[in-house]
Chains A and B, each alone.
Chain A
Amino acid sequence: MRHIIAILMQNEAGALSRVAGMFATRGYNIESLSVAATQDPTVSRLTLVTEGSDAVIQQIVNQLYKLVDVVSIEDMTTGEHLERELILLKLKVRLEQVDSVRGYVVRTGGRVLDPAPDGFIVELTASEAEINAFTADLARSAELLEVVRSGALGIERNARQLRMVRA
Chain B
Amino acid sequence: MITTVPETTHRAHPLAGQKMSGARMIMQVLADEGVEAIFGYSGGAILPTYDAVFLYNEEQQRAGGRQIPLIVPANEQGAGFMAAGFARATGRVGVCLVTSGPGATNTVTPVRDCMADSVPIVVISGQVARAAIGTDAFQEAPVTAIMGSVAKHVFLVTDPDRLEATMRTAFELARTGRPGPVVVDVPKDVQNWEGLFRGAGTLPIPGYRRRMQALAERRLEPRAAERFFKMLGESRRPLIYAGGGVIHGDASAELVAFATAFDIPVVTTLMGIGAIDTTHRLAMRMLGMHGAAFANYAVDDCDFLIAVGARFDDRVAGVPAKFARGARRIAQLDIDDAEINKVKRTHWSHVGLLPEALSALTAHGRRAGFRGEFDSWHAHLGELKRRHAMNYDRDSALIQPYYVIEQINRLTGGEAIITTGVGQHQMWAAQYSDFRRPRLWLTSGSMGTMGFGLPAAIGAQFAHPDKLVVDIDGDSSIRMNLGELETVTTYELPIKVVVLNNCGDGMVKQWQKLFFKGRLSASDRSLHKKDFIRAAEADGFRYAVRLERKADVPRVIEEFLRFKGPAFLEVMIDPDAGVYPMVGPGQTYEEMITGEFIASRHKVHITPPGPSEMF
Contacts and interface: CB of A to CB of B under 8 A. Distances in A.
B338 A63 contact: yes
A66 B205 CA distance: 12
A129 interface: no
B341 A58 contact: yes
A89 B11 CA distance: 63
A14 B144 contact: yes
Contacts of A18: 148
Interface string A1-42: 000000011100110011001000100000000000000001
A13 B4 CA distance: 19
Contact of A68 (B153, B156, B337, B338): B153
A10 B341 contact: no
A18 B151 CA distance: 10
A13 B144 CA distance: 9
A148 B310 CA distance: 46
Contact of A69 (B207, B211, B336): B207
A42 B149 CA distance: 23
A70 interface: yes
B206 A65 contact: no
Given A13-B156, A14-B154, A167 B144 contact: no
A45 B152 CA distance: 22
A167 B158 contact: no
Contacts of A71: 206-207
B145 interface: yes
B207 A59 contact: no
A76 B157 CA distance: 35
B148 A167 contact: no
A55 B341 contact: yes
A167 B336 contact: no
Q: Is the interface of A mostly helix, strand, loop or mixed?
A: mixed
B131 to A, nearest CB: 16
A55 to B, nearest CB: 7
A165 B208 contact: no
A72 interface: yes
A21 B149 contact: yes
B209 interface: yes
Q: How large is the interface on A (under 10, 10 to 19, 20 to 34, 35 or more residues)?
A: 20 to 34
A160 interface: no
B367 interface: no
Contacts of B84: none
A10 B4 CA distance: 15
Contacts of B338: 59, 62-63, 65-66
Contacts of A68: 152-153, 173, 205, 207-208
A65 B351 CA distance: 14
Contacts of B4: 167
Interface in A45-65: 55, 58-59, 62-63, 65
Interface string A62-92: 1101101111100000000000000000000
A14 B145 contact: yes
A65 B144 contact: no
Interface string A138-167: 000000000000000000000000000111
Contacts of A70: 207-208
A166 B342 CA distance: 31
Contacts of A10: 204-207
Contact of B206 (A59, A62, A165): A165
Nearest to B204: A167
A66 B180 CA distance: 11
Contacts of B555: none
Contacts of A167: 4, 203-206, 209
Contacts of A25: 149
Residue of B4, B145, B148, B158 most packed against chain A (CB within 10 A): B148
B62 interface: no
Contacts of A17: 144-145, 148
Contacts of A65: 211, 337-338
Contact of A166 (B158, B206, B336): B206
The 5 closest A-B pairs by CB, nearest first: A167-B204, A62-B338, A71-B207, A165-B206, A68-B153
Given A14-B156, A42-B204, A55-B341, 16 more contacts: A14-B148, A17-B148, A58-B341, A62-B336, A65-B337, A66-B336, A66-B338, A68-B205, A68-B207, A69-B205, A70-B207, A71-B207, A166-B206, A167-B4, A167-B205, A167-B206
Interface of B: 4, 144-145, 148-149, 152-154, 156, 158, 173, 178, 203-211, 336-338, 341-342
12 contacts: A13-B144, A18-B148, A55-B341, A58-B341, A65-B337, A65-B338, A68-B153, A70-B207, A72-B207, A165-B206, A167-B205, A167-B206
